[in-house]
Chain A
């Protein structure tokens, strides 16, 4: 029988504390009234009000959100097509190269992805800015989307599609009215993952960005290099709060749909 020993419990608790302690400290210190980051000067929301007047940070945040929205949507489209091709089409010509190009970016160091895309844009003489960052993020995130959607398609009940096709439904219509609704939770999860990856990325964006397209991580990085700053604590806390709410909502929603969709997966 499975039994949770004291050692198991110890490992789990220590692991969770290790993962969350720095984040909790960061959030607490964002409410520090003192200008000196290491000295606790009482509770205050001073740095949050300060933030509301910081035009550079706000514009960087808006650029980041727009890049993340567009690239997550593109990546979900491309990644889903790739997943369908990999799971459903069996062995087609060039499959090995295709699969390699899907899995390689997952572990490719970001510095290399960023450098290579920048050199492409330079070779094509493209002006770097919003769209070059979008393209770079789409390329990186599409591979993650493929893996997520693929895992859903693999344990998909094919007989539903076959029934629709036997009844004369053309493939595209079958996909839109049977397959798509059933894999929608996976698509939503994949879109969120792509969105988060784009919002998070510093290295690839630094290589592929241009004037007027400074994303939030680039902005934060340029400030943080010089040391810890209370305003940045506040930015990061807001970011963490947004992410936590989004992820918890999503996992709750996924649980609901999974409970509802359970019989169809048998």
Chain B
């Protein structure tokens, strides 16, 4: 800041306060909780309150702290590696997230592309239309699909009426239902970043390509697609990361055969009351997502600094 030196000294106190308040909040309620998860993932499950051991005991002085560190172990992580249930759960989460994100890209791109080509006035209306479902509750929108996908729901009624099937197929409690739910819920997260990039695309580049005799599909492949890559990256990250840890959609629409990782954490915690195992599963999930999360942060910071 150019005029920083001119400001009176109480201004710098004010500045410190502006940073300190949200900084302190995030350290106490975001960073520290995560460190606690890390610590508990190295503890043992115990029948006590809280249900894990060792507990850091400052009252016992150095001996307490020494005992605490001696009590830590990697047993929970060994369990993660050896029990196929956990491994399956991670594989299933990654698989669903990867395919769902691909489907979202395939469905979202034509929508965003179409939106960007409509007249300005229509664009504003379309953006509101795409954003509006995002504001209505996530849970409600999944519940709405339960209505449609149930055995004698609207989808089966329509299929039977059109004589496409003769026996009502089962939709709920299948992976198909999970994919429908994921694509439906995350579509705005894919369409909006793509639209933001496509809308700013310099049309004269496409005109130049056309003037030089480039066919339209080739111009799309060589000009539009590469130029929209920031939107693709943003959309893919915004969908992929939360889908891996998704709980509500697989829980309500999916079957019980192979749970996704979010469900595993939930049942370890609420069902089995095994807090250390739940923490270990959570830490492993973060490790799995660390690359995409860092990529996302990097991109978010770059966009915000570009101004």
Contacts and interface: CB of A to CB of B under 8 A. Distances in A.
Interface of A: 1-5, 7-12, 14-16, 18-20, 22-23, 25-26, 29, 37-38, 78-79, 81-82, 84-90, 92, 94, 98-112, 115-117, 119-120, 122-123, 135-136, 138-139, 142, 146-147, 150-151, 154-155, 162, 165, 170-172, 196, 199-200, 202-203, 206-207, 217, 220-221, 224-225, 227-228, 232-233, 236, 239-240, 243-244, 246-248, 251, 255
B261 to A, nearest CB: 8
B106 to A, nearest CB: 11
Contacts of A84: 18
Contacts of B251: 225
A14 B139 CA distance: 23
B30 A239 contact: no
B133 A20 contact: yes
Contacts of B270: 206
Interface in B222-275: 237-238, 241-242, 244-248, 251-252, 262, 265-266, 269-270, 275
B171 interface: no
A73 B269 CA distance: 31
Interface string B202-235: 0100010000000000000000000000000000
Given A23-B133, A239-B137, A15 B187 contact: yes
B89 to A, nearest CB: 12
A150 B29 contact: no
Interface of B: 1, 3, 7-8, 11, 14-15, 18-19, 21-23, 25-27, 29-34, 36-37, 40, 50, 107, 110-111, 113-115, 117-118, 124, 126, 128-133, 135-141, 143-148, 150, 152-154, 184, 187-188, 191, 203, 207, 237-238, 241-242, 244-248, 251-252, 262, 265-266, 269-270, 275, 278-279, 282, 285-286, 289, 292-293, 296-297, 300-301, 304, 307
Contacts, number: 266
Nearest to B36: A119
Kindly name the residue among A2, A19, A79, A99 whose own CB sees the greatest number of chain B CB atoms within 10 A.
Answer: A19
A228 B143 contact: yes
Report whether over half of chain B's contact residues are helix, strand or loop; otherwise say mixed: helix
B262 A111 contact: yes
B19 A98 contact: yes
Nearest to B307: A154
A109 B262 contact: yes
Contacts of A16: 126, 129-130
Dominant SS among interface residues on chain A: helix
Contacts of B304: 86-87, 147, 150-151, 154
In the A-B complex, the 6 residue pairs with the smallest Cβ-Cβ separation, listed nearest first, are A109-B245, A8-B114, A116-B33, A11-B110, A22-B144, A82-B22
